[in-house]
Amino acid sequence: MTDKFREDLVAEVKADFERRREERRALEQQWNLNMNFLAGNQYCDIAPNGEISDDESGFCWQNKGVYNHIAPIIETRVAKLARVRPVMSVRAAGNEEADLKTARISSDVLNATCNRAGLDGVIAKTTLWSETLGTGFYRVVWNGGAGKVLGVVDGKSVSEGDVEIISVSPYEIFPESLYRSDLSEQRSIIYARAVNVDDIESVYGVRVEGSETDVFTLSKVKGSKKYVANRLTGTTAPDSAVVIERYERPSKKFPNGRVVTIAGDTLLSVTTLPYINGVDGTRDFPFVKQDCISQAGSFFGTSVIERIIPLQRAFNAVKNRKHEFINRISMGVVTVEDGSVDVDELAEGGLEPGKVLVYRQGFAPPRMMASESLPFDFSGEEERLASEFITVSGVSEISRNSSIPINVTSGVALQLLIEQDETRLSITAENVRRAIKAVAKQIIRLFRQFAPKSRLMKIAGNNKTSEVFYFNSSDLTSDDVVFDTENELSYTPAQKKTSVMELLSTGLLADSDGNLSQRTKAKILEIMGYGSFDNVQDLTSLHISRAQAENLEMQKNYVPVEDYDDHSVHIAEHIRFLLSGELELVKDRAATKENVVKHIKEHKSFLSPAGKADEKAANEETAAENTRAVTDDADNVLTDEAQD
């Protein structure tokens, strides 16, 4: 690679970056305005020159109080969207034994990686970005330095690597076209961010010049320039440089795509797209987009803050004018004849109670102007604007203020209002679920690419136990991720509990005798949030865990039945193992099935009348032996005392 080629490539990427940044400048100013209004700096606007500037209109005596309704609305929306944490699994590619096995392994790898990578926290950060600015991004990459350390080579530790999921703000993503709505439609994406020069040197081995950089505008901070656009702390990065990564999709010229990385005037690296994370083994961008509200023909989504800003301005104006009117009524306006009193003294102290006011003889004394009462228009306009906040944001006073509307007295009407709240958020919730599914698919594809050898992974097993298993890339043949749970906003925990109670009242969960099995009771308590409600259910959970462990053991050897087993619970768990797809995953299915069937028959023998009689006799014999043992111990003690 010649120096001329390097210089031309750096110049090309810088020119492309500047073009994209200039095209997106209007959007960035709207994002800055959203952040200001959310933070409470609500007397600013976009100036004709395109910059954010303070609003200095009005008289010096006018109130400029801020009555922030945007912050609680966004907090409520984020809190509701925090419930969108779907349970995911991988669907088998077919009905063969190998397909079922690989689907189960892929599901375990996916869920274990999501827990280890802290996906819930990343989703929360990205959702806050999307709710504030309209769009947030996930960056799914492979970190070769993460995971378990395998050894030391040339004084450096070697790790097995792991998936890393990072939340990325829209300030750092520059698409090729603002009018293509999906990432799949973009031929290239620029990922630009401010990075400390020491970190750049440690990764690329190149020292570049650093300066104080604004992390939002990615521009150098010159002197004491104060950015009105962001009144938040920590918006500048000292001793840093802007690292620009241009990801190019595979093409005829570059079959595996290309990533060009520069910092300043320095070319840091030129590589192919590093991850085989696309459909059917193709290389793709390591990014996933999440919108608050998608816009037709626009790459970036829109935020509800943009819709609320005009209402917030009007609400602030009404509240401030209302308070000014109240102040005018309470403090009054004094009329003074010219030359009758010392105007400066009167302006400083006013007409305080008990004050001796001296005015010139022959002049009229100062007096208060007659004031009118507060017009009803103020209160009417304030109430109308408050109702418009609900209409525009989709968050009612039930969710935001935890208060019930005065005109709502019916429980059915109240439930309908709550459901309407959830319906308005369902579009955003589906965007979150769609993004999570895309992230999950990339996780499986990265393990398929970077885990060719056997890896040991620990997962959370049934009944809160830990399980470990080995896998490699050949075990991850399917990446068809599906959700095991429906939209969490459309089916809340309270609604789930109500449904369970209705099923109980209809008797659909009972057996033919009208009774609930111990396993059914344990599952119901788990759904209701009382998995360890009492000791009886704890004992039932222990029996279920033991029966599941026996299922695993009987894949190798026969396990005899113990007298203390809860035979009904064990029989139900063993039959579930036979009827479910777990038996299909066992190598020696015939021998395992024979062991389990024999084991079930032994359990049933204990439940037969003869078996119960034998068990009763055995228990009585055990009790008698315990009694004899206690008696013998007492006799021995008495004998020893007599000898002493």
pLDDT digits (tens, 9 = 90+) for 74-107: 998 898 888 888 878 787 766 666 666 777 788 8
Do 172 and 100 share a structural domain? Answer: yes
Establish if 468 belongs to a structural domain. yes
Give residue 516's domain range.
Answer: 492-607
Establish if 399 belongs to a structural domain. no
> Strand 88-90 and strand 481-483: pairing?
antiparallel
* pLDDT (average), residues 612-623: 57
Q: Does residue 518 surpass a pLDDT of 80?
A: no
Q: pLDDT digits over 473-485, tens only?
A: 777 777 778 776 6
C-alpha span between 41 and 316 (Å, rounded): 12
| pLDDT number for residue 534 | 46
Do 520 and 600 share a structural domain? Answer: yes
Do 597 and 460 share a structural domain? Answer: no
Do 537 and 469 share a structural domain? Answer: no
Establish if 266 belongs to a structural domain. yes
Q: What is the pTM of this model?
A: 0.74
Do 514 and 466 share a structural domain? Answer: no
Establish if 80 belongs to a structural domain. yes
C-alpha span between 239 and 298 (Å, rounded): 35
Establish if 622 belongs to a structural domain. no
Q: 249, 287 in Cβ contact below 8 A?
A: no
Establish if 323 belongs to a structural domain. no
Q: Which amino acid is at 396?
A: S
Rg of the chain taking only CA atoms, in angstroms: 36
| pLDDT number for residue 261 | 95
Establish if 385 belongs to a structural domain. no
C-alpha span between 118 and 164 (Å, rounded): 9
Residues in the chain: 644
Do 270 and 202 share a structural domain? Answer: yes
Helices and strands in the chain, H and E counts? 17, 19
Domain final residue pick, 414, 446, 475:
475
Do 75 and 104 share a structural domain? Answer: yes
Do 268 and 130 share a structural domain? Answer: yes
Do 462 and 583 share a structural domain? Answer: no
The count of domains in the chain is: 2
Tokens 């907090």 belong to 75
Q: pLDDT digits over 187-217, tens only?
A: 999 999 999 999 999 888 898 988 888 888 8
Establish if 235 belongs to a structural domain. yes
Domain final residue pick, 475, 509, 544:
475
Do 546 and 461 share a structural domain? Answer: no
Q: Does residue 166 surpass a pLDDT of 90?
A: yes
Q: 65, 40 in Cβ contact below 8 A?
A: no
Q: What phi and psi values does residue 65 have, to the nearest 5 degrees?
A: -75, 155
Do 145 and 34 share a structural domain? Answer: yes
Q: Does residue 633 surpass a pLDDT of 50?
A: yes
Q: Does residue 545 surpass a pLDDT of 60?
A: yes
Structure tokens at 103: 């689907």
Do 461 and 598 share a structural domain? Answer: no
What DSSP element (H or E) covers 378? helix 376-393
Q: pLDDT digits over 385-443, tens only?
A: 888 888 788 776 655 555 555 555 555 555 666 666 667 788 888 999 999 999 999 99
Q: pLDDT digits over 118-127, tens only?
A: 999 999 999 9
Q: pLDDT digits over 10-64, tens only?
A: 999 999 999 999 999 989 999 999 999 998 888 888 888 777 888 777 667 677 8
